[in-house]
């Protein structure tokens, strides 16, 4: 059984009708566990009422809270508005618990033994968490699958964060809004999207790239293979967490040695299910 870590932001997504547990790393871990992995979230919450509520939800969902730090900073909340297509807009506030994730020996020892770590750009907006994330990723073994789910939010990214993250990962996941921004920052000059991905694979020695295009389908590419699958048509409730579920199914399948086409199909099916459900972590 594979061990998977989601590293970074942990928060409450606050919708007009109430709050739901969120944060891309947590969503990733939840769905990786549903695919048969052992999941660990490495993050921080405040020592406050809504932070304790997160720990209770972890317990109910069977997610380990062993590496959730209690912080003097407040638990993060994110205001979420959905447009008519169920696509979210986020208002993410600063100076919250996951901006101050700290490194320690217990984390170092755990990280050396994991099969997968998934991280993004958002949790690197603050120097404290950014330095911790860098230390953690540098503790990984050469066999660890390190997934950089770009996840650009508001203005919480820059060239330095993207460049260093690309150097540290070996699997990349990004969408149709993120690819042109990443390529511009990194000086990738190819015009065609597939050529851009080929350049990224070559320049950063990537094992796998996932490129999702919403209703237009998704593309997986390795140095030697490609797989394109159309997006499954469903009645969308909201798309929150759909990309995270896609990443989780894809990565667990990749580590398990599934064929590219098979793991891609599983990822498409799971993300479609999430789109047709309420929230990022529906019961499968």
pTM of the model: 0.94
Per residue in 244-284, pLDDT tens? 999 999 999 999 999 999 999 999 999 999 988 877 788 76
> Considering only the top CATH level, what class is 3-275?
alpha beta
pLDDT tier at 218, thresholds 50, 70, 90:
very high
| Positive/negative CA dihedral, 105, 4, 210, 149 | negative
Is residue 263 a contact partner of residue 229, using CB atoms and an 8 Å limit?
no
Among residues 165, 240, 214, 259, the alpha carbon closest in space to that of 13 is found at 240
Per residue in 89-123, pLDDT tens? 889 999 999 999 999 999 999 999 999 999 999 99
Tokens matching residue 166 = 């690309």
- How many whole angstroms separate alpha carbon 263 and alpha carbon 57? 29
- How many whole angstroms separate alpha carbon 178 and alpha carbon 247? 15
Listed by start position, the domains of the chain span 3-275
């Amino acid at each position: 059984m594979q061990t998977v870590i989601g590293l970074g932001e942990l928060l409450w997504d606050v919708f007009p009708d109430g709050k739901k547990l969120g944060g891309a790393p947590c969503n990733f871990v939840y769905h990786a566990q549903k695919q048969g992995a052992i999941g660990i979230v490495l993050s921080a919450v405040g020592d406050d009422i809504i932070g304790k509520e997160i720990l209770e939800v972890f317990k109910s969902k069977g997610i380990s809270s062993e590496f959730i730090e209690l912080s003097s900073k407040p638990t993060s909340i994110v205001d979420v508005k959905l447009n008519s297509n169920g696509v979210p807009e986020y208002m993410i506030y600063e100076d919250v618990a996951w901006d101050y994730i700290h490194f320690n020996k217990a984390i170092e020892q755990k990280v050396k033994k994991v099969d997968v770590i998934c991280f993004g750009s958002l949790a690197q907006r603050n120097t404290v968490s950014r330095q911790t994330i860098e230390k953690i990723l540098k503790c990984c073994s050469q066999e660890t699958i390190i997934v950089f789910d770009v996840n650009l939010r508001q203005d919480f990214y820059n060239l330095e964060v993207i460049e260093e993250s690309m150097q540290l990962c070996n699997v990349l996941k990004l969408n149709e809004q993120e690819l042109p921004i990443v390529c511009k920052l990194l000086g990738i000059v190819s015009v065609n999207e597939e050529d851009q991905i080929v350049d990224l694979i070559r320049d950063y020695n990537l094992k796998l790239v996932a490129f999702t295009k919403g209703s237009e389908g998704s593309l997986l590419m390795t140095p030697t293979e490609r797989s394109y699958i159309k997006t499954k048509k469903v009645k969308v409730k909201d798309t929150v967490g759909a990309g995270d579920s896609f990443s989780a199914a894809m990565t667990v399948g990749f580590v398990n040695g599934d064929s590219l086409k098979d793991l891609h199909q599983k990822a498409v099916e799971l993300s479609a299910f999430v789109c047709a459900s309420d929230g990022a972590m529906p019961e499968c």
